[in-house]
């Protein structure tokens, strides 16, 4: 199962037939594995990764570090759920260290990000503080180099 899912994670456009050929796993087993992974939410969704900068579509991405006051009986979970339900919160992670959550926010302008932080996030009960970092340039994301040509991964064989 892991081999099938790794292939799909790398390229969700691979067909079950291609995966069966690549792995030697029977086609029926590949199809059933994928269907089961979709049913039990091991596969959450299929996603295209787009380099919006190439299209001139300006987006602002920010990493907001959030310090929380844990709630009795539920820890950080209830506050994290309130935060991840905001549409502005693209990703939310529990951290170790000085801050408790990392919240990634994407918007059209810095002002929209600032408005989200000051009007929705910071005033929540249990939020003790935030620090916002604006991402200035993306070089690599999800294993993909975004600018320039990706260097050859293997050295060619020379006799």
Same domain, 97 and 72: yes
Q: Which pLDDT tens digit goes with each residue over 36-77?
A: 999 999 999 998 888 877 888 888 999 999 999 988 888 899
Those residues with Cβ within 8 angstroms of residue 27's Cβ, 6 or more apart along the chain or in another chain = 16, 17, 20
Any domain includes 121: yes
Any domain includes 145: no
Any domain includes 147: no
Any domain includes 46: no
- Domain of 69, CATH number, reads 3.30.70.920
Whether 156 shows a pLDDT value over 80: the answer reads no
In this prediction, residue 148 carries a pLDDT of: 67
Same domain, 32 and 56: no
- Lowest average pLDDT, out of 49-53, 83-87, 103-107, 146-150, goes to 146-150
For the chain, give the mean pLDDT.
90
- Cα radius of gyration (the chain): 21
Smallest CA-to-CA distance from 64 within 107, 26, 12, 117 is with 117
Any domain includes 151: no
Q: Which pLDDT tens digit goes with each residue over 1-23?
A: 899 999 999 899 999 999 999 99
In this prediction, residue 154 carries a pLDDT of: 53
pTM: 0.79
Parent domain of 56: 52-137
Whether 155 shows a pLDDT value over 90: the answer reads no
Q: How far apart are CA 148 and CA 138, in angstroms?
A: 12
Q: How far apart are CA 11 and CA 63, in angstroms?
A: 27
Which residue, chain included where needed, has tokens 């302008």? 109
Same domain, 70 and 32: no
Which residue, chain included where needed, has tokens 């939310």? 92
Tally the domains of the chain.
Answer: 2
**How far is residue 26 from each of residues 10, 31, 123, 141, measured CA to CA in Å?**
20, 9, 54, 33
Q: Which pLDDT tens digit goes with each residue over 108-134?
A: 999 999 999 999 999 999 999 999 999
In this prediction, residue 2 carries a pLDDT of: 92
């Amino acid at each position: 199962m892991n081999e099938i899912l790794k292939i799909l994670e790398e390229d969700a456009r691979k067909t079950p037939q291609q995966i069966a050929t690549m792995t030697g796993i029977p086609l029926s087993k590949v199809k059933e594995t994928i269907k089961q992974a979709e049913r039990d939410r091991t596969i959450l969704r299929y996603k295209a990764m787009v380099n919006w900068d190439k299209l001139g579509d300006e987006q602002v991405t920010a990493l907001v570090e959030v310090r929380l006051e844990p709630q009795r009986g539920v820890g950080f979970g209830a506050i994290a759920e309130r935060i991840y339900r905001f549409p502005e919160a693209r990703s939310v992670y529990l951290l170790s260290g000085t801050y408790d959550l990392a919240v990634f926010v994407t918007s059209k302008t810095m002002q929209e990000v600032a408005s989200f932080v000051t009007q929705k996030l910071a005033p929540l009960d249990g939020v003790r503080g935030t620090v916002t970092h604006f991402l200035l340039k993306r070089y690599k994301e999800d294993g993909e180099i975004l600018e320039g040509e990706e260097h050859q991964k293997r050295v060619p064989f020379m006799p």
